[in-house]
Homo-oligomer: A and B are copies of this chain.
Amino acid sequence: MPEGGLVVGQSGGPTQVINSSLVGVIEEAVRHKEITGVYGSLRGITGVLNDNFVDLARESKETLALLRRTPGAALGTVRHRLEPDDYERIVKVLSAYDVRFFCYIGGNDSMETAHKVHLAAQEMGYELRAIGVPKTVDNDLAHTDHCPGYGSAARFVALAVRDSGWDTESMGPSSPVKIIEVMGRNAGWLTAAAALGRQAQGDPPHLIYVPERLVDDDRVVRDVDRVVAEREHCVIALSEGAVPDTGLHEVDAFGHGMKGRAAEYLASLIRQRLKLKVRLDRPNYLQRSFCLSMSEVDAEEAYRVGRSAVQLAVDGQGDVMVTLERTLGERYHCDTGTVALSEVANAEKLLPDEYINEEGNDVTAAFLDYARPLIGEPLPRLGRLQGFPVLAQSR
């Protein structure tokens, strides 16, 4: 059992709870005498490459407590593809600091990085335990029930689509269609969470389009036409990846082509074919940063996978990512487990068929059961007027 330092880094897009995982790593690491120092690598793996560390063991309890409510990645993050030669340099730097434990918080690209660091160390005969800590609002990592980060972003999306949807409903037929564009790349997990904002039948969103069922123009027009005919308005939760590349692209103010955007495309389609006013919300980065929507369940799990990563490393494991494994039972609970980094690195978990309805424009009850516990406390209830008629004698 080697003694030595621990390096932790954050990688990829931040989440509301990525710093909870960081604090979990720090608070667990300082409890183990085998861990002789706790170093933060600034800007992900580039901090190791550039010998750019901070001493995390000296941070105050107060700072760590605040970090658990702070958006962004406190160590800075990075999207950086390493060159083959970089791995040797990384192991050399880690060895110069006598680092034996390496915790990397990120998505599947980051798990690949961590795996390659492990392989390089192995090849160089340097004992190093690399552990992945899952993180992504997209919820697209394989071999884990869900990813820390998803619950809080899902809570934001559920609240945003609900609240903006009720706004649209009250605006009436003069402005009947609202599209809220949701993150998630190729996976519909985050968009599907919009369904959690419904309190009763007929509540927004009325249509949910996910990349697992690419939208077809004619079907969208039929769907929207039907919903507007039924209730005079229509609220759509649309995955950024749900619109296929049509070859049609916007041209920006300077005449340059721009990447086609899902919400703009669908809005144009509805305006043209149905002659309806369409409003758009594109909250983009708020989905992964807006702290008021933090799910307490998510924050606690993010913290727990951070601690678990350190425990695993100290117990002699390496080349694995911490997973969340849902236990059966009345009450929601997840245990932590492990999976080989290489198995996560190149996999992408999409919404399974049983979570998408037959028409491809909504989710199923099974999805709601899966996702509801992850967003934490039940959403605050909203009120509707009963709408009692004014009695004739009033006249």
Contact = CB atoms under 8 A, between A and B. Distances in A.
Contacts of A170: 10, 14, 72-77
A265 B284 contact: no
Contacts of A384: 63, 70, 74
A241 interface: no
Contacts of A71: 163-164, 166-167, 382
A349 to B, nearest CB: 24
Nearest to A19: B383
Interface stretch (A142-150, A247-255, A311-319): A247-255
B268 A382 contact: no
Interface residues of A, number: 95
Interface string A285-324: 1101111110000000000000000000000000000000
Contacts of A166: 70-72, 289
A281 B285 CA distance: 6
Nearest to A38: B390
Nearest to A12: B171
Given A43-B172, A171-B14, A174-B78, A163 B290 contact: yes
B164 A285 contact: yes
- Identical copies in the complex: 2
A45 B289 CA distance: 40
A380 interface: yes
Nearest to A288: B167
Contact of A385 (B54, B97, B395): B54
A119 to B, nearest CB: 25
A260 interface: yes
B279 A282 contact: no
A168 interface: yes
A67 interface: yes
A184 interface: no
Contacts of A159: 290-292
A69 B383 contact: yes
A59 B264 CA distance: 41
6 closest cross-chain pairs (CB), A and B: A66-B383, A72-B170, A72-B166, A248-B253, A167-B289, A163-B289
Given A67-B383, A97-B390, A252-B268, 20 more contacts: A14-B167, A36-B394, A54-B389, A55-B390, A69-B380, A70-B382, A71-B163, A71-B164, A73-B170, A75-B385, A76-B172, A163-B291, A164-B285, A168-B285, A254-B269, A280-B282, A281-B286, A282-B282, A286-B286, A292-B293
